[in-house]
Amino acid sequence: MRKVTVKLEMQLVILVDEGIEISQVVNELDYNVSDTTTAADILDTEITGYEVLDSK
């Protein structure tokens, strides 16, 4: 079996309470990436960065 590192970019649309910093929300996100084929094991996941595109 080989260890493969994949960079994954995600786009989220979220509703956020007024007065809350986006960085606080992003840092506390709970996310899960799983393989449904059972042919691989996910060893680690990480959000490597984010950019606020719009804030209304």
DSSP collapsed to 3 states, 5-52: CCCCCCCCCCCCCCCCCHHHHHHCCCCCCCCCCCCCCCCCCCCCCCCC
Structural domain boundaries, residue 53: 1-56
In angstroms, what is the C-alpha Rg of the chain? 15
CA neighbor of 30 nearest in space, from 55, 4, 12, 5: 12
Global model pTM greater than 0.85: no
Q: Count up the domains in the chain and report the number.
A: 1
Please report which confidence band the pLDDT of residue 31 belongs to, taking 50, 70 and 90 as the band edges: confident
Is the confidence at residue 46, as pLDDT, over 90? no
pLDDT surpasses 90 at 39:
yes
The token duo for 17 is 């309470």
